[in-house]
Structure 1
Amino acid sequence: MNTSSEPGLDRLDPGLSAITSERRQLIGVAYRLLGSLADAEDVVQETYARWYAMSREQQKEINHPIAWLTKVASRICLDLLGSARARRERYVGEWIPEPLPGRSEWISERSGDTTADPADRVTLDESVSMAFLVVLDSMTPAQRVAFILHDVFRYPFADIAEIVGRTPAACRQLASSARRRLHTSQTPASPAAQRAGIVRDFKQAWEAKDIDALIGLLAPDATAIGDGGGLVSAEPRPIEGGEQIARYLVDLAGRVPDMTIQERTVNAQTGLTAQQDGVTVAVFAFDVAGDRITRIWAVRNPEKLRPWTTPTV
């Protein structure tokens, strides 16, 4: 997909600049709805393909192209969410949303081309945290669409109703139900600086293979979930309990002596990556309550690590 930054492109299509300028919002909507940056890119590409499949006359009849693009992208996402549950049933092991790199960590496929950076088009805030996305994934497709479009992107319920095929009142109820689910599922957020410090201490304790220090940083009822997608070995079930998690991590460090742990931004929060031979083989996101880590999400599925491993050309 070309962008309006290319010389002379606006002269060929005066409306192209306005259309492509909203790509960031479309990526942001699709990523939050699907939990996958790769799928979000595909949705936006399909959305633009439908726009350019229309004649110039048909395009001119659309008074608000950006609203049209968002509506189309949301409908595509709604269809994908409907079929995602069946795909998840066939998924090997636990399923975790695709981890999103911070802008400074993003490895572009085209060196020097910032327009090719999808992560730069996703507004990084609390609504892309791993804890937030995991709760979103437990919602019905209609709940997820209504909540994201209204509470995150401030779309009116009348517009959302056209997308999900419900009345505005029903969409308001869907968003309200989603809001309650988030409220009951999420723990009070610790300050960002405190959360970052705890993850940093966790990294140091892991590198030192200090079981006692790890246990002290993990909540007694902490949970660790791994996603290998059947493509790499990962724990088939969540590991329950802070002590059990600590012992597993120390054992892992002993079995993989060449593994290096690095602090990185993961879904807008401080996280960690594991590397072997300079290649990222796992990304870790954390949920912190007070001064303890309550949940760890470890993504090892290579398909979900492409944004972290694609070499710069």
Structure 2
Amino acid sequence: MDTTSHPGGQRRPGGAAAGRDLGDRATVEATETFVAHRKLLFTVAYEMLGSAADADDVLQETWLRWVAVDAAHVEDHRAYLVRITTRQALNRLRSMKRRREAYVGSWLPEPLLTTADVAADVELSESVSMALMLVLETLTPTERAVFVLREAFGIGYDEIAAAVDKTPAAVHQIAHRARRHVEARRPRRSVTARQAEAAVEAFRHALETRDLRGLLDVLAPDVVAISDGGGIKQATPRPIFGADKVARFIVGGLTKHNVTVTVEPTTVNGGPALALHVDGELDGVVAMHVEDTHITGIYYVRNPQKLTYIESETPLTLR
């Protein structure tokens, strides 16, 4: 009697065609389930990693493991997929921590061109904002996984414990520690979407006209500007603090290089942002954080390796 392997790695008796049909059907059904939850899984991986490219790699690894599982014995497909994704993302996050120690200059999350529904969802847009993602970088890999799963996705402690290989009691402690750490550092979100858009529009106008006074008017006194060139494009090696220094740096840079800059409004990571083109070529994306109608954070991603996900919208979800 012939035997034919199927994606679960087991061997079933029967003719070659029968075995192939069973394997193909199982793969198709597993793939359909995976696709149904793909948006959620990508959001989990991206919030854990801050890198869309790495999140896509994690999803590929998740799919390969999922199609090798006998789904008939899995009670909750969504929970099982989240568990696989979390474990793969944790493994990758630990290796990324070492890579980022050798990163040239400041590191910023990979920006995503996001859909209108992401911007309209306050909880989702905050969870993927550049400002919060930078705070999450200060957590350990396990703390970040627990915080993301609990705070952003509302996943239960028992389920998180299974995903991170900890006891529920340990997860409780980790969640409390991570929450306290983040709350002490997370930026306040005290403006409406319309107020944030107005502040970014004022920044855009001042940038295009190289208006120092206009920039000073829209920047908070304690604004911080961070740029990420990844060693490929020129960027400030360290953050710049203070409205006067930030404004003069921006205007001085534009004047010094005597370039033609066009600025296009866009939506990045659920918030208003700007795409900068220098002499007709995309130079980078500027995401901003706004508090009390003033810009408190400017995040300029110039590293071309991080700009591939602003060419088309990336759907995200917390559910």
Q: Is the 8 A contact 1:146 1:172 kept in 2?
A: no
Moved >4 Å (runs of 4+): 9-12
**Alignment check: 8 A CA contact 1:10 1:17 kept:** no
Query: For 1:16-95, what aligned pairs fall within 5 Å after superposition?
Result: 16-54=31-69, 58-95=70-107
1:157 aligned partner? 157
What is the 5 A alignment of 1:106-255? 124-189=124-189, 190-254=191-255, 255=257
- 1:241 and 1:195 map into 2 onto residues whose CA distance is 20
Match for residue 292 of structure 2?
A: 290
Partner residue in 1 for 2:277: 275
Aligned length: 282
User: Match of 1:98, as an amino acid?
Assistant: E
Cα offset, 1:68, TM superposition: 1.5
Consecutive unaligned residues in structure 2, runs of 5 or more = 1-23, 117-122, 313-319
User: 1:109-162, CA deviations, whole angstroms, 9 ceiling, x for partnerless residues?
Assistant: xxxxxxxxxxxxxx9521111111111111111111111111211211111112
Of the candidates 296, 301, 314, which is equivalent to residue 299 of structure 1? 301
Cα separation, 2, equivalents of 1:62 and 1:12: 15
- Corresponding letter in the other structure for 2:129: S
User: Is the CA contact (8 Å cut-off) linking 1:71 and 1:163 kept in structure 2?
Assistant: yes
Percentage of matched positions with identical amino acids: 39
After superposition, give the CA deviation of every residue in 1:181-223 in whole Å (9 maximum; x if it has no partner): 2222123212221111011101101111111111121122211
Q: Return the offset for 1:12.
A: 7.8
- Quote the Cα distance in structure 1 between the aligned partners of 2:25 and 2:260: 51
- State the Cα distance separating 1:307 from its structure 2 match: 1.8
> How do 1:2-13 and structure 2 match up within 5 A?
13=28
Instruction: Give distance in 2, aligned partners of 1:12 and 1:69.
Output: 15
Q: Distance in 2 between matches of 1:147 and 1:67?
A: 17
Q: Which amino acid aligns with 2:35?
A: T
- What amino acid is aligned across from residue 90 of structure 1 in structure 2? A
2:236 maps to amino acid: E
TM-score (norm 1): 0.84
CA distance in 2 between partners of 1:19 and 1:201 (Å): 43
CA distance in 1, matches of 2:279, 2:215: 25
Q: Which moved more, 1:36-45 or 1:170-179?
A: 170-179
- Specify the structure having the higher radius of gyration (Cα): 2
Matched-pair contact (CA < 8 Å) for 1:259–1:274? yes
Q: In the TM superposition, what is the alpha-carbon distance from 1:236 to its structure 2 partner?
A: 1.1
Q: Give a deviation string over 1:56-101, Cα, whole Å, max 9, x none.
A: xx33222222222111110011111112221111100010001111
- Specify the SS of the correspondent of 2:223: strand
TM-score between the two structures when normalised by the length of structure 2: 0.83
- RMSD (Å) for aligned C-alpha atoms: 2.2
What residue ranges of structure 1 are gaps of 5+ in the alignment?
Answer: 1-8, 105-122
CA distance in 1, matches of 2:142, 2:182: 15
* Distance across 1 between alignment mates of 2:129 and 2:113: 11
TM-fit CA distance, 1:309: 4.8
Paired residue secondary structure (2:67): helix
The CA deviation string for residues 265-293 of structure 1, in whole angstroms up to 9 with x for no partner, is 11101111101354422111111121221
Are 1:280 and 1:309, in contact at CA under 8 Å, matched by a contact in 2? no
Cα distance, 1:187–1:52 mapped onto 2, change above 3 Å = closer
2:88 maps to a residue whose letter is I
**Are the counterparts in 2 of residues 43 and 73 from structure 1 also a CA contact under 8 Å?**
yes
The residue aligned with 1:258 is 260
Instruction: Classify 1:159/1:197 alpha carbon distance in 2 versus 1 (closer, same or farther; 3 Å).
Output: same
